[in-house]
Structure 1
Amino acid sequence: MFEYIMKLIEKLVIDGGWLSELFRYLIAGVLVATCMIYLIRLWQGKIDILWRKVEDQGQVHILQVDKSNLEQQVEKLQQEKMELDQKLKEVRLEMMEKDKTIQELQKIFVELDEKYDDETYTTSQIMYTAEEIAAALANEENFHLKRDDIFTNLLDYLVNTIKGYREKNPRVVIHIEHPEKKDRLMHYAHSSGHSHRIREYEPLKDGSAAGRAWRTCTNYYVSDVEDKTYEYDRKVASSKYYRTILCVPLKAGNDPSTRIGVLSITGQPENAYEKIEIDRVVLFASLLYPLVYMDIKKGEVSIHGRT
C-alpha cells in the first residue's frame, strides 16, 4: 500500500500539471507550519533544540514544594509516632503500677477480711468465757462440782483465739504457789491436750519460765526454749512438744501484791505468737483472775490439787 502511494506521488511529480503543483504547495505549507510551530515552542521554552519536551519550571517548583511538604509531614508523623510510642509506654507502666496497687489492695482486703473474721471469733470466745465465769461466781456449788470441766472449757476458749492454733498446737496450764514448798509452784488447772503428767510438774520459782513471771510479776515470753539465754527449766529426758512458751502472772491490775499464780501457754513452732495473741493471753489471765482468786481464798486447794 505504501509503495503504491509513493509510486503515485512520483508519477504526479514527473508528469507535472496542476495536481503536481498543488501537491508541492501542500507539502511546502506543511513544512512551513511545522517549522513555525517548532520555532514558537522553542521560543516559549516548551521544547529544546532537539524537539524534546521541557517541563514547566513552575510545575517543577510545585513538585519540589510538594515533595518538601511531604518530607516534612513524614518527619512530623514519625515524631508523632515516637511521642505516641512513648505515651503508650508510659500508659503501660501506669497500668502495671495500677495493677500492682490493685493486687496490694486485694491483699489488704483479704487480710482485713480475715482479721475481721478472727476478731469476731475471738470476741465470741471472750463472751463465752465471761459468761461461764459469771455463772461460776453466781453458783459456787455448781462450780465446785464441775470445776475441772469448767476450767478446761475456759482455757480451751483461750486456745481457740490463737491464730492457726491447729499448727501451733497451744496448750495452757495454770500454776499457783505451792503451800509447802516455798521455792516452787504447783499445778492448778490445764487445757485439753495435756497428759496427766502435767499435774506432777512443779516449776521452780527460780530457774523456770513460770517462776520468772512469778518473781518479776511481768509477762515472760520465750521465743525458743532451746536458746539457753532464756530462763527456762530444761528438764532431763523431757518429751516436750513445743519451742515457744509465754508465761503471764495472774494478778489484779498492776498491783504485785495481788499475784496468785501464773498462766503459761506453749506453742509448737519457734516464736509462735504475735503481739495480738500475747495481748489475748493477758486478757484471758485477767478474766480468769476472779474465779481463781475465789477458789484459792476458799481454802479448797491443797498440795494434792483442788478438793
Structure 2
Amino acid sequence: MEDLLKLLDRFDQSSGWFMDFLALVMAAAVVAMLGIHIHRFATGKTDWLGRTPQEEDASGQVALMQLEVCRNENEDLKKQLALSLAENQDLLRLLKEFEQETETLKNRLETSDKKVAALKELYEELDRRFADETYTMTQIMYAMDEINLAVSNPEYFERNRVDVCMNILDYLINTIKDFRSKQPRVTIHVRHPDRDDVLIHYAHSTGHNHWVKRYQPPVDGSAAGKAWRTGTPVYIPDVNEPGVEYHRKEHSQRLYRSILSVPIIAGNELSTRIAVLTMTGAPVDAFDKTEMERVLLFASLLYPLIHMDLGRRGEMNG
C-alpha cells in the first residue's frame, strides 16, 4: 500500500507538464470550434443554434404539419360543437313540445276530473232525491192509510181524532228535509163556531205544549187568517221582518222564524174552505218549493177527513 502511494506521488511530480499541455490543447480546440461556428453563422450556413437550413426547413415543415393537424382538429371540434348545439336545440324543442303536450294532458285530466266529480255529485244528488222521494211516498202512504181508516169508520175517528190527526201531521213533518234541525210544528185551525174574527184550534202535531189549543189566530193580522181570507198559501220566510202579516202574541216563547199557512180547500173555490194548516220552522226561510208542495198535498189529503168530521158535528155552517 505504501509502495502504491509512493508511485502515484512520483507520477504526479513527473507529469505536471503534461497536464498543462493537455489543458492548452483543449483550450485551442474550443477556440477553434467557436471560430468555425461564428464563421458558419456569419456566412449563413447555420443558425445560431448550429442548425443548417435543411434542418431548419425540416423543423419548420414539422411545425407546419403540426399546426395543420391542430387546425384540422380545431375544425373538427368546431363541427362537433355545432352538431352538439344543433342536437341540443332539437332536444330543447322536443322538451318544449313534450311540456306543452304534458300541460294539455294535464288540463284534459283536470277537466275530466271535474266532469267525473260533477257526475258523481249529480249521481249523489239524484240518489239523495230518490231516497227522499221514496221516503216521502212512504209517509204519504202511511197518512192515507190513517185517513182511509178514519173515513171508512167515523166512530173510530171520533174516538181517536186527536191521535189520528197527530199521526197524520207527524207524517207530514217527516217529509220535510232536515226536519230535526228545522224543528217544524203543525197546527190546524177551523172557523170559530161563535166568532167571525178568529179561528179556533182543531188539531196539532207533536212538539207543541198545551197552550197551542188556546191560541186563536185572528182572521185579520195573522198568516193563518190571511190564508183563510184569500184561499191561497201564505209563506213568511222571516216573521221578524217588518210589514209582514203575522200575529205577534204577547208572552209567547216563540221558537221559530218561518211560517207557512195553506188553506184546506176544495179546488180554488173560496166558499169550500174548511180549515187552515200552518207549519212553522226554526230557521229563516226554512221551507223550499218542494216542501211547500208537500204541505199542499197533505192539506188536500186532509180535506175529506176534516169535512166529514165537521159535517158530523154540525160545524160546517157559516
Same fold (TM over 0.5): yes
1:263 Cα deviation from its structure 2 partner: 0.3
Greater share of helix residues, 1 or 2?
A: 2
1:194 Cα deviation from its structure 2 partner: 1.1
Of 69, 89, 92, the match for 1:75: 89
Q: Does 1:287 align with 2:308?
A: no
Structure 1 equivalent of residue 105 of structure 2: 91
Structure 1 equivalent of residue 261 of structure 2: 247
List per-residue Cα deviations over 1:17-49 (Å, max 9, x = no partner): xxxxxxxxxxxxxxxxxx79x87x95xxxx445
Of 163, 188, 198, the match for 1:149: 163
1:283 Cα deviation from its structure 2 partner: 0.5
SS of the counterpart of 1:70? helix
List per-residue Cα deviations over 1:175-195 (Å, max 9, x = no partner): 011111111111111111111
Say what the alpha-carbon RMSD is for the aligned residues: 2.3
Identity %: 42
- Kindly provide the amino acid, as one letter, of the partner of residue 290 in structure 1: P
Structure 1 equivalent of residue 246 of structure 2: 232
1:145 Cα deviation from its structure 2 partner: 1.4
Q: Which runs of 5+ in 1 are unaligned?
A: 1-34, 303-307
1:76 Cα deviation from its structure 2 partner: 1.0
CA distance in 2, matches of 1:143, 1:185: 22
User: What are the residue-to-residue correspondences of 1:109-148 with 2, within 5 Å?
Assistant: 109-148=123-162
Structure 2 equivalent of residue 207 of structure 1: 221
1:55 Cα deviation from its structure 2 partner: 2.0
- Kindly provide the amino acid, as one letter, of the partner of residue 296 in structure 1: L
SS of the counterpart of 1:145? helix
CA distance in 2, matches of 1:94, 1:246: 48
SS of the counterpart of 1:54? helix
SS of the counterpart of 2:263? strand
Q: Indicate the structure (1 or 2) with the bigger Cα radius of gyration.
A: 2
Q: Does 1:100 align with 2:114?
A: yes
The number of aligned residues is 262
User: What are the residue-to-residue correspondences of 1:139-178 with 2, within 5 Å?
Assistant: 139-178=153-192
Structure 2 equivalent of residue 10 of structure 1: none
- Kindly provide the amino acid, as one letter, of the partner of residue 225 in structure 1: V
List per-residue Cα deviations over 1:101-142 (Å, max 9, x = no partner): 333332222222221111110000011111211111111121
CA distance in 2, matches of 1:266, 1:110: 29
TM-score, normalised with respect to structure 2:
0.76
TM-score, normalised with respect to structure 1:
0.79
SS of the counterpart of 1:176? strand
CA distance in 1, matches of 2:222, 2:74: 106
Structure 2 equivalent of residue 27 of structure 1: none
CA distance in 1, matches of 2:205, 2:189: 12
Residues 278 and 209 from structure 1, CA distance in 2 versus in 1: closer, same or farther, beyond 3 angstroms?
same
